[in-house]
Amino acid sequence: MKLASKFTIKFTMICIVLLSSITISYYTFRDVLHSFNVVEKKHKLKELIKLSETLSLLIHETQKERGMSAGFLGSGGKKFNTMLPKQRLLTDEKIRMYKEVLSKIDLSKYSNDLRGKIKELNEYLNSLPAIRNKVSNFEISLKEEVKWYTQMNKTILDIIGLASKLAPNKIITEDLSAYVMFLQAKERAGIERAVLSATFGANKFKDGMFAKFIRLVSEQDAYINAFLTFANNDMKNMYFKTIKDPSFSEVEKIRKIAINKEKVGNFGINPEYWFKTITKKINNLKKIDENIAKIIEKDLANIDGSYYLQIAIGINVIDYSFDEEMQTIEKLLK
């Protein structure tokens, strides 16, 4: 009876030790898997940030091409006829850079959504020569031209936005949210450039263009406010320093002229002057988005050390815990 009782106590103690070991190992292993997942997401996101940087360069040029094409059409070919061919070459160069970076990425690792958007963008780029030909020959309306480029640019922004789904922590999530909101604001500034280039070229607002212009200004304000909500202090300081550039106040001055003369036209604004002025503003915005990308890369680089350390500690904890519990069990069985 004493032997049976002793055996029961030992068995109970062994079960307690095993359960304790299993519990510790489970939670530690779960944390290790989480750390592995974070590191894997980080490496994927690093690839997409590189792609996003080339897409940001591309959209900067397609925004200018959209604006010049609109000004060319709006003025009946009297304006932007020498600037537009040169701009197309700049766009082509950024398309080449994008395709070079894309060729080094294994897209099979990524979601169907991302692959679908990249396919959609590539189809737009394949159609670009035909659209350019229509613009050159006045075979496309101003509205259709702006819409086509805007849809292509939306696809570019969608690709950049999908990267945020891979954010491994709160800091990177907020960084990416700020980045996407800022790029959305910059895209609206690009559409505004196109709308007023065409308007000043025609010296009047065509049907629906004034409402579109007002909406674009409002959307820019909304996206900038969203950007400032997510932006860290470095991003905010950079933004408030940049908007002191004279190009921002000059754009505001021209906007007021457009609003005040909405009904009568005859703005007295050379469309090429408007284009160059707002392009200075957008170029300053471009510097901000480039620096935001660098901040994200820096924050991503800080992830590796801490999570690799967690992985190493977790594996050692599991190994040490297993050894300790086995020694305890061996003692109990003696």
Q: What does the pLDDT average to over 15-28?
A: 51
CA atoms within 13 A on the CB side of 179: 29
Q: Is the pLDDT of residue 62 over 90?
A: yes
* In-domain check, residue 7: no
pLDDT digits (tens, 9 = 90+) for 250-271: 999 999 999 999 999 899 999 9
Asked whether residue 264 is assigned to any structural domain, the reply reads: yes
Residue 168 falls within a domain, yes or no? yes
Q: Give the model confidence (pLDDT) of 36-49 as tens digits.
A: 454 555 676 788 88
| Residue 179 domain boundaries | 27-333
pLDDT at 309: 40
Average pLDDT, the chain: 83
Residue 257: C-alpha distances to residues 47, 62, 91 (Å) = 45, 27, 31
- pLDDT tens-digit map of 98-145: 999 999 998 888 889 999 999 999 999 999 999 999 999 999 999 899
Whether 319 is in a domain gets the answer yes
Domain presence at residue 327: yes
pLDDT score at 301: 78
SS3 103: coil
> How much is the pLDDT for 274?
96
Predicted confidence (pLDDT) per residue in 149-204, tens digit: 999 999 999 998 887 777 777 888 889 899 999 999 999 999 999 999 999 999 99
Distance (Å, rounded) from C-alpha 250 to C-alpha 276? 11
Round to whole Å and give the CA distance between 195 and 209: 7
Calpha distance 39→270 (Å, rounded)? 53
Say how many domains are in the chain.
Answer: 1
Segment 318-323 mean pLDDT: 45
In-domain check, residue 43: yes
Is residue 127 assigned to a domain?
yes
Q: How far is CA 287 from CA 77, 120, 244, 277, 292, in A?
A: 31, 27, 14, 16, 9
Does residue 28 surpass a pLDDT of 70?
no
In a domain, 3, yes or no: no
